[in-house]
A and B are shown apart, each in its own frame.
Chain A
Amino acid sequence: MALLKIDKLSKNFYLHAQDRQISSCQDISFDLKQGEFIGIVGLSGAGKSTILKCIHRTYLPLTGEIVYDSRAFGPVNLAAATEREILYLRKYEIGYVSQFLNVMPRTTAKEHVMSALLEMNEDPARAETAAEEMLAYFRLPAALWDIYPNTFSGGERLRLNLAHTMVKHPRLMLLDEPTASLDNKTKLLVKDMLIRLKNTETSMIGIFHDLEFMEGVCDRVYNISEGAFVC
Chain B
Amino acid sequence: MRLTETPVLTVRGLTVRYGDGCPACGTSLEKNRCTACGTVWALRNVSLELFPGEVLGIVGESGSGKSTLMKSLYFDLTPTEGTARLRDYRDGGASIWEASGAERRMIKNLLMGMVYQNPVLGLRMDFSAASNIAEKLIAAENRNAAKMTGRVTELLDAVEILTSRMGEAPKNFSGGMQQRVQISKALANNPALLLLDEVTTGLDLSVQAKVLDLIRKIKARYGVSILLVSHDLAVIRMLADRTIVMLDGQIVEIGLTDQILEDPQHPYTQQLVHSLI
CA distance A106 to B214 in the complex (A): 10
Judge whether A58 and B259 touch: CB under 8 Å: yes
Contacts A87-B256, A105-B209 given; indicate if A58 touches B263 (C-beta within 8 A).
yes
Q: Which residue of B lies closest to A74 (CB)?
A: B1
A124 vs chain B, min Cβ distance (A): 9
- Asked if B216 is at the interface (CB within 8 A of a chain A CB), the reply is yes
The 0/1 profile, CB within 8 Å of A marked 1, for residues 1-19 of chain B is 1110100000000000000
Q: Which residue of A lies closest to B51 (CB)?
A: A84
Most chain A CB within a 10 A radius of its CB, from B51, B256, B265? B256
Judge whether B212 and A105 touch: CB under 8 Å: yes
What's the A-B contact tally at a CB cutoff of 8 Å?
63
Judge whether A104 and B3 touch: CB under 8 Å: no
The 0/1 profile, CB within 8 Å of A marked 1, for residues 232-254 of chain B is 00000110011000000000000
* Majority-rule SS of B interface residues: helix
List, in ascending order, chain A residues with CB within 8 A of B220's CB.
Answer: 115, 118-119
CB interface residues, A 68-100, toward B, < 8 Å: 72-73, 82-88
CA distance A87 to B56 in the complex (A): 12
The 0/1 profile, CB within 8 Å of A marked 1, for residues 208-232 of chain B is 1110110010001000000000000
Residues of B within 8 A of A (CB): 1-3, 5, 51, 54, 208-210, 212-213, 216, 220, 237-238, 241-242, 255-256, 258-259, 262-263, 265-267, 270-271, 274
Residues of A within 8 A of B (CB): 13, 15-17, 53, 57-60, 72-73, 82-88, 102, 104-107, 115, 118-119
Which 9 pairs of residues, A with B, have the shortest CB-CB distance? A105-B209, A16-B267, A59-B263, A106-B213, A58-B258, A118-B220, A58-B262, A83-B256, A72-B1
